[in-house]
Amino acid sequence: MTQALQTLDQQFSTVLTSVQQIGTPPSGTAFVAALTSALESERTAAQQIAQHSAAIDATSSTAFVTGFQQVVNETKTTGAQSRASAKSTPAFQHAARPFRPIVVLLTTKADTCTKG
């Protein structure tokens, strides 16, 4: 689990770098700023959960299960909070049509961007 979260952190870093290198499309300043902020928050959360995952006590099966369940719960809670935050972000609420597939990805449990 720790490795998967570290990989996720690296992927967020790659996406953030790509967004910065691509630049901002016309009329997309607020959207790109909100997207960058959301991705940075997700990356921070992934780093924190990876640290918690790495600290799971494996000295007994009970301790392991308890620690693992805490990390799973933290992951679920963080995901729900992230989606709720994105849904309340004005730049996402009023996103131009071309950006809407990204909004769906950020505000739902979708794992891909679909056509808008």
User: How does pLDDT run across 12-38, given as a tens digit for each residue?
Assistant: 888 888 888 888 888 889 999 999 999
Both tokens assigned to 73:
């719960």
Q: Give this prediction's pTM.
A: 0.80
Per residue in 65-97, pLDDT tens? Answer: 999 999 999 999 999 999 999 999 999 999 998
- Going from N- to C-terminal start, the domains of the chain cover 2-18+26-107
Both tokens assigned to 3:
């490795």
pLDDT computed for residue 65 by the predictor: 96
Query: CA–CA separation, 65 vs 45, rounded Å?
Result: 21
Both tokens assigned to 27:
């009329």
| CA–CA distances in Å: residue 36 to residues 22, 86, 87 | 12, 12, 15
What is the mean predicted confidence (pLDDT) over 53-68? 94
Task: Quickly state the pLDDT bin for 114 (edges 50, 70, 90).
Answer: low
